[in-house]
Amino acid sequence: MTRTKGFNENWSAFFEHQGIKSDFYADAIIRGGATYRLQKNIQIDASISTSLKTTPYLLYGGFGVSWRTDQFYEAGKPKEKKVKKKNRSKN
């Protein structure tokens, strides 16, 4: 589960919850961090994560760089709703 909030064109923050359940290990991990857009298609991010379980207790951080391409994206215009205009002229 992820919640993201953009503050402006360059900065955003995120909060995530990750559940892990298997026959060998189960945990819940929470993570928070921020991203900064350097250029149109390049951003950097940093985060810190911790587990809610104490056996073993996990605490770790991360740093990343993302590159995005719109090569295969076809932008479409939103369809305009046609609204009937009422004749409001007074006779």
Give residue 43's pLDDT band: very low, low, confident or very high (50, 70, 90): very high
Domain ranges of the chain: 2-67
Residue 69 to residue 91: CA distance in whole angstroms: 58
pTM for this entry: 0.63
Whole-number pLDDT of residue 7: 95
Whole-number pLDDT of residue 66: 92
Whole-number pLDDT of residue 88: 62
> Mean pLDDT, the chain, as a whole number?
85
Q: Strands (DSSP E) along 1-91, which ranges?
A: 2-6, 11-21, 26-39, 42-51, 59-67
Whole-number pLDDT of residue 60: 92
